[in-house]
Amino acid sequence: MMKHGAKFACTHAKTVHAGLGQHNLTQDTRGLTPSRIFTCSTARYFSATSLPLNRNRDQEGIHNSGKKLFTPGPLCTSKTVKEAMLLDYGSRDTTFIETVKYIREKLLDVAGVDPSQYTCVPLQGSGTYALEAVISSTVPRQGGKVLVLANGAYGMRVSRICKAHNIDHVLCRFPDEEKVRVEVVEEALKQDTFTNVSIVHCETSSGVINPVEDVGLLLKRYTDATYFVDAMSSFGAIPLDMVACGVDYLVSSANKCIEGIPGFSYVIANREKLFNSKGWSRTLSFDLVEQCEGLDQNGQFRFTPPTHVMLAFKQALIELEQEGGVKGRARRSGYIPREDDRGRLLQDR
């Protein structure tokens, strides 16, 4: 029996049910009770492009004048992002290759990581494609075991991916309305040995933000396991220090907080960890190392890339920078209070 009512239930994949007993509804990282999480985290933050930046931009038609999307993604996109798709380029055109290079470099800049230590690997397909690429490529074929921390549908998706590839894993399941609890993770690490640990930064199905940094610090104390973060619905709008958190792999997609068009996803990967996993991939299309090697060698995808979507994403990255980067977008979403000209926080959220 684990602490705080958490317990192991042995099935095909071992499952830890955490916190299924009586609970006191405590405040989350932003001082919001679980009943308010969806309103403030999902409706305000995910639909950031639904809220006009200012009257002038709205009058210029940069944002949609019709239907507003209040979803975790796809989001409303600017007129200029849409217009970027009006040009046709082949996958081997110099202009397109330069676009891919720009995107890879700029995403490392957004992540705040050193290009000598990390690399960016874009992949055709939705965010789940990148999730599967990381899991199927970076878990050792011999002796690999994943600790899956899940408090919603997208954490559970990682478990499904592990099952599909017959990868040994332990599912540590938390209630959907609660954060992953560090003390339960610690107990799991004491009871078993893992080569990989996965967590969702912002659980898309609820908006709950998980303690990625606390879990990362815990891993440093107990294990050298590879740390994988699904930042699908947070990257680009909720600050996360990958280095401080010890994150080895971070995944997101074009159509989330950076406000691009659906069609590709990307992995920010620790170079050493990535290339040490060469030969572990269980698939051809999702082979993360081969995808990266191909891009590094000639700037090209191994298979047909979504050219128009990537052109749009380059423009979306430019607009992210114009808005003030991650902090600027976070302020628009209401996640970070604005500052006055002296750097003092303004409580006008």
Which position has the token pair 């933050």? 45
Percent composition of the chain: helix, strand, coil (DSSP 3-state, to 5): 40, 15, 45
pTM of the model: 0.81
Mean pLDDT of 15-34: 38
**pLDDT for res 336:** 61
**pLDDT for res 4:** 40
Contact 14, 170 (CB under 8 A): yes
The angle subtended at Cα 200 by Cα 184 and Cα 166, nearest 5°, is: 85
What is the rounded CA–CA span in Å between residue 157 and residue 164? 10
Quick check: helix, strand or coil at residue 13?
coil
* Torsion angles phi and psi, residue 196, rounded to 5: -140, 145
What is the rounded CA–CA span in Å between residue 83 and residue 80? 5
Question: pLDDT class for 18, splitting at 50, 70, 90?
Answer: low
Provide the token pair at 89.
């380029």
The strands making up 196-200's β-sheet, listed across from edge to edge, are 7-9, 14-17, 169-173, 146-150, 196-200, 226-230, 249-253, 264-270, 118-124
Least-confidence region, from 26-30, 180-184, 285-289: 26-30
Q: What is the pLDDT of residues 96-105, one digit of tens each?
A: 999 999 999 9
